[in-house]
Structure 1
């Protein structure tokens, strides 16, 4: 291969990589800019990871969905497959959004004006038999929030003694992104668009 062809091929690959990364960043920014805002109450989980920097691991009320909330479990189905779980949340009088109902794969009814659907993934093997103690734990991609160096441990400790929340942006198809970490009504950290 000649030198000019090699340079042209390298430039084409670089342009494709830059285009792909730009597409990912622009998609996330579009959610943050245009998605409906939802405030979820945070439940503390772990402190930080020394290898990846300071962050807090976040759990929510929607992180453990009671099986009895899932409206469309097929008759006789006892365990889950790898699939989507659509969780419908509604704004409560406390200002936080709480789960109302859920569906495997897709919601059959459109949301009301004060409701939002958030889509998560559940892995195979969850017990789907209806009982008061059985829950499934979907993964939404909003379980970590990265913080400035040295802030993670203090915030994690504060989460155990007073209410924190996360302001989300949620698209019409249920994809959620974290917009801000809230300490009560005070915004501690806001995610930049880019």
Structure 2
């Protein structure tokens, strides 16, 4: 009986494909983990003032929904030629305040080329557009906390530490309570 090379190598080719798929999945998981650590290592940490909203998820445990001061900005901060549109990426220029946290000073449709040394850019997207303002989202609006600690953070000003990598990725690195002293 004659065997064709096409049929004799089929199991070997299948095995190589499976090995390639498994290797790609392992590589992807490793890259996701390394990216998270790289943001903390190479990123610049800034403090953002926020107010928590809803502290409980029945399926996932305690979390805090965060409403940052930089989530609603005046329309006058927009620096684009075209009008801002929902679901479009934006780059928010932040500057430090004397109180120790950062505040938004400009919103760009593309990453700004130059910044003052103490400023940083946080990538986000437009959630909503109003005549007088913009609602922005950053992917940092939910922070999971240890069980039964979410209620202790509810309705209290917080200072959230965010690490922002040079390539634009960001992650929450810490959260602390601020004394409640009137309006923001």
TM class by smaller structure: 0.7 to 0.9
Q: Deviations over 1:158-181 (max 9, x none)?
A: xx24x3211111122332211111
Aligned to 2:163: 169
> What TM-score comes out, normalization by structure 1 length?
0.77
Instruction: Pick closer, same or farther for the CA change 1:173–1:11 going to 2, 3 Å.
Output: closer
Consecutive aligned runs of 4 or more in structure 1 exceeding 3 Å deviation = 4-11
Tell me how far apart the structure 2 counterparts of residues 61 and 73 of structure 1 sit (CA, whole Å).
25
Q: Deviations over 1:87-146 (max 9, x none)?
A: 111110000111111112332x411111111110125x624x4xxxx2222221111111
Among 3, 28, 31, the alignment partner of 1:23 is 31
Tell me how far apart the structure 2 counterparts of residues 12 and 42 of structure 1 sit (CA, whole Å).
45
Tell me how far apart the structure 1 counterparts of residues 86 and 142 of structure 2 sit (CA, whole Å).
25
Superposed, which structure 2 residues align to 1:85-124 within 5 Å? 85-107=90-112, 109-123=113-127
Aligned length: 170
CA-based RMSD of the aligned residues comes to 2.2
Is the partner of 1:16 in helix, strand or coil? Answer: helix
> What TM-score comes out, normalization by structure 2 length?
0.81
Is the partner of 2:26 in helix, strand or coil? Answer: helix
Whether the 8 Å contact between 2:42 and 2:166 is mirrored in structure 1 is no
Tell me how far apart the structure 2 counterparts of residues 53 and 19 of structure 1 sit (CA, whole Å).
30
Tell me how far apart the structure 2 counterparts of residues 147 and 120 of structure 1 sit (CA, whole Å).
23
Among 33, 37, 41, the alignment partner of 1:33 is 41
Tell me how far apart the structure 1 counterparts of residues 102 and 48 of structure 2 sit (CA, whole Å).
6
User: Which runs of 5 or more residues in structure 2 are unaligned?
Assistant: 1-9, 180-184
Tell me how far apart the structure 2 counterparts of residues 146 and 10 of structure 1 sit (CA, whole Å).
36
